Amino acid sequence: MSESIQLVPVSITVNGKLYQQEIEPRLLLVEFIRETIGLTGTHIGCDTSYCGACTIIVDGDPVKSCTLLAVQVDGSEVLTVEGLEQDGELHPLQQAFSQNHGLQCGYCTPGMLMSSLALLAENPDPDIKDIRKRLAGNVCRCTGYQNIIKSVQAAAKNLRED
């Protein structure tokens, strides 16, 4: 006998837009973002909570969105990589990654950008150690990390000088 799954209502603001949906209680936040509301910039790179490709910001804090259920962020403000660009202008972090070759295949990039954004919000002038420490939860299989660090430092400098 098949049991029907009880849907639950959630209200989640993503990139400034309110989404009110009925979802399965077991739906992961990353699935809500990618499949329910169709923002596929947030990537899934593992099934072990290891890679960080799914990193987003929830109420100001970086989180791996594969480690949370969507119902756990009911009422929250979420920022994904799509929310970085403003009025057609790339965010200084996106510009810096582009200018400093901070990406190759780009698979890790959304997570790298969101973790870096959280770092710069806390520390506008991070040194290499600070950047390495914050990005330790984000895996890149292409770049060797040097240009990612260079990109974050360049963005930090540009933001400080703004």
Closest CA to 71 of 116, 111, 135, 26: 26
What is the smallest separation between the CB atom of 48 and ligand FES, expressed in angstroms?
Answer: 7
Nearer Cβ to ligand FES (52/62): 52
First to last CA, the chain: 63
59-88: which residues touch ligand FES (CB under 6 A)? 64, 66
**What distance in Å separates the CA atoms of residue 65 and residue 81, rounded to the nearest whole number?**
12
Q: Is 52 in the site for ligand FES (CB under 6 A)?
A: yes
**The one segment of 4-12, 51-59, 81-89, 114-122 that binds ligand FES by CB under 6 A:** 51-59
Q: What tokens were used for 108?
A: 């890790």
**The one segment of 71-79, 90-98, 100-108, 121-129 that binds ligand FES by CB under 6 A:** 100-108
**The one segment of 6-14, 91-99, 122-130, 135-143 that binds ligand FES by CB under 6 A:** 135-143
What is the smallest separation between the CB atom of 86 and ligand FES, expressed in angstroms?
Answer: 24
Nearer Cβ to ligand FES (22/61): 61
Q: How many CA atoms lie within 13 A of 132 on its CB side?
A: 6
**What distance in Å separates the CA atoms of residue 101 and residue 32, rounded to the nearest whole number?**
31
Residue/partner pairs of 120-126 with CB below 8 Å, 24 or more apart: 120/93, 120/152, 120/155, 120/156, 120/159, 121/60, 124/156, 124/159, 124/160, 125/156, 125/160, 126/152, 126/153, 126/156
Q: What tokens were used for 99?
A: 């200018």
What is the smallest separation between the CB atom of 37 and ligand FES, expressed in angstroms?
Answer: 17
- What is the per-residue binding string for ligand FES in 8-47, x denoting contact by CB under 6 A? ------------------------------------xxx-
Which positions lie near ligand FES, rule CB under 6 A?
A: 44-46, 49-54, 64, 66, 103-108, 140-143
